[in-house]
Amino acid sequence: MKQRSSTKISLKWIPFLCISFFVLGTVFSNRLWIATIFNDCDTKKKPATDNDEKGEVLKTHEAIESLDKSFAMLQIKLAPPGSSQKMKNSDATGAVSTLAGIDSPRKKAFMVIGINTAFSSRRRRDSIRETWMPQGEKLVRLEREKGIIIRFIIGHSATSDSILDRAIDSEDAQHKDFLRLEHVEGYHELSAKTKTYICTAVANWDAEFYVKVDDDVHVNLGKLAALLGRYRSKPMAYIGCMKSGPVLSKKSVKYHEPEYWKFGEEGNKYFRHATGQIYAISKDLANYVAANQHILHKYANEDVSLGSWFIGLEVQHLNIKSMCCGTPPDCELKAKAGNACAASFDWSCSGICRSVEKIKIVHQRCGEGDAVVWSALF
């Protein structure tokens, strides 16, 4: 009897259990179906979301790049030259002028011309003073009326207060046409000297252009001023005779490049840069050099160094052949044709050969005349 009773109870629960499992199965299946729908929706929407996000990220990145570029340009244009010039006197790469204090107000100018010279080049300096560089009151008037500043640029010797330094002090007292640099003179230090000259000039004058010329080059000031005046509206202007000479790896040759391996395979050429006899840079580029002087690398050759400092910037390389005419008959023929050269020298000598004697001949035959600079419009 007990066994039958137990069997009947178990049979009664069977329908109830079936219904319960059916209901549970239905609920569970519905949840899976709903989850699948939502997953499908998410899957369909996700690619569009990713694309939107990528688009927004790209737009934001482009906006940031544009702002960075604008900010960099403003930094170059508005970099306070004085702030980068305040340096210790013991720093040989500093920019200290004997003509004006670092904190004194800078004078406005059209162009500053720095004539690179050495202790041993007194005769070269005198030959320039006797030809294309005004002297005395005319030099002062040129600065006052035309905004053209001309100075011989030179540093000091390795020995403090040496006879060489005293000779320059005496010469400067007589002519008042030097810009003394906080720089130790040496042939292999020309890149450092150029950098120091630019920094010193920027610290003393707020000019439109900064020019460097060697002391064995003839210059027609009126022609040079008029030429540069054409490019006043061009920002980041790097002006001169552009070239791309071979990188010389052999130690025995002149202009040897110790870091030749940085320029690729043997026999490669340098990047395009202005030849070192004479070149000009605009105000914003000069401010850039002054603001970044401590991180600008110096190569063995000064003109290569200057060109390397502008790689990666939005620089306008202006190749002006009038700044690298040959000596007579080349410059003479051009002068007779009414197209006087801005500068003349011999490529074979990287300047006028035997310049002390020959520059006077060049001036007589290729010079524009002393009155031209005073009537030049720029």
In-domain check, residue 20: no
pTM for the full predicted model: 0.74
Asked whether the beta carbons of 296 and 289 are under 8 A apart, the reply is: yes
Q: How many domains is the chain partitioned into structurally?
A: 1
User: pLDDT exceeding 90 applies to what percent of the chain?
Assistant: 60
Structural domain containing residue 125: 107-241+275-375
User: Is the pLDDT confidence value at 288 over 60?
Assistant: yes
The pair of three-digit structure tokens given for residue 87, joined into one six-digit string: 């340096």
Q: Is the pLDDT of residue 91 over 70?
A: no
Whether residue 329 has a cis bond before it, omega within 30° of 0: yes
Largest distance between two CA atoms of the chain: 147
Would 288 be classed as within a structural domain?
yes
Measured CA to CA, the distance from residue 200 to residue 100 in angstroms comes to 10
Q: Does residue 234 lie in a domain region? A: yes
Q: With a cut of 70, say whether residue 74 has pLDDT above it.
A: no
Q: Is the predicted pLDDT of residue 166 greater than 60, yes or no?
A: yes
The CATH number of whichever domain residue 178 belongs to comes to 3.90.550
CA 296 to chain centre: 9
Quick check: is 335 in a domain?
yes
Q: Region 104-127: what's the mean pLDDT?
A: 95
Whether the per-residue pLDDT at 241 is higher than 80: the answer is: yes
The single-letter code of the amino acid at 163 is I
Q: Report the mean per-residue pLDDT for the chain.
A: 81
34 falls within a domain: no
Domain assignment of residue 361, yes or no: yes
Q: At 41, is the pLDDT very low, low, confident or very high (cuts 50, 70, 90)?
A: very low
Enclosing H/E stretch for 2? helix 2-78
Q: Tell me whether residue 33 is in a domain.
A: no
Residues in the chain: 378
What is the pLDDT confidence band of residue 107, given thresholds at 50, 70 and 90? very high
Three-class secondary structure of residue 106 per DSSP: coil
DSSP string, 7-30: HHHHHHHHHHHHHHHHHHHHHHHH
Q: Do the domain assignments include residue 344?
A: yes
Compute the average pLDDT of residues 241-266: 78
Residue 55's CB: how many other CB atoms inside 10 A? 10
Is residue 258 pLDDT above 80, yes or no?
no
In the predicted model, what is the mean pLDDT of residues 234-260?
84
CA–CA separation, 312 and 309 (whole Å): 8
